[in-house]
Chains A and B, each alone.
Chain A
């Protein structure tokens, strides 16, 4: 088992290609990222800066 993993990892490094391909995780992280960016733009630029009487001093 251990030997297999070692051999496997070696082959991957030599080839440079990615055999492990967690596309689902990448998609989830992409969705989280988009939600974070949208929520943040909304909270800061729309809700906060868009309100009256912004304190400037």
Chain B
């Protein structure tokens, strides 16, 4: 069979594109460590979050050298705690759940974005850089007040975080 030289060229290019696409995603997972929101978390009783040791008191706590866990509860029509205050240059794992309906949790302008399903805990780990203030919006229609449902994520310097005292840590 005769195949034109140009045709061989663009067939080869299309294969290069496919390989590069797979390579990009592989690089993302191996290099920067980009991960998906998994469903490995234990379920919770969304009707009894105030009896749950993690969510009865939404908060940020230190769990390691430079590691923090944030327990966030979403409800119609707010997020708690608000603001969520975390230190700069640290690793923060956000555990987010809902006590009523499905909500969304999107830290505006960033890659931190997940659905919040009642009874499920959405866990996302992010690395913070410099101090910054981000808005959080609910991006799943959750009722009449959906459009006003917002939160805040404040990334503050380590010293400022410590100065806030033990209230959030």
- A: which residues have CB within 8 A of B? 9, 12-13, 18, 20, 22, 25-26, 29, 33, 36-37, 40, 44, 48-49, 51-57
Contacts and interface: CB of A to CB of B under 8 A. Distances in A.
A18 B2 CA distance: 11
B34 A52 contact: no
B168 interface: no
Q: Can you list the 7 inter-chain pairs with the closest CB atoms, starting with the nearest?
A: A57-B125, A53-B110, A53-B126, A53-B112, A56-B33, A52-B110, A26-B6
Given A18-B5, A56-B34, A49 B28 contact: yes
A48 to B, nearest CB: 7
A25 B5 CA distance: 13
Interface residues of B, number: 34
14 contacts: A18-B5, A18-B6, A33-B10, A37-B17, A40-B20, A44-B24, A51-B109, A52-B109, A53-B126, A53-B127, A54-B33, A55-B112, A57-B93, A57-B123
A7 B93 CA distance: 72
Contacts of A36: 17
A51 B125 contact: no
Interface in B1-48: 2, 4-6, 9-10, 13, 17, 20-21, 24, 28, 32-37
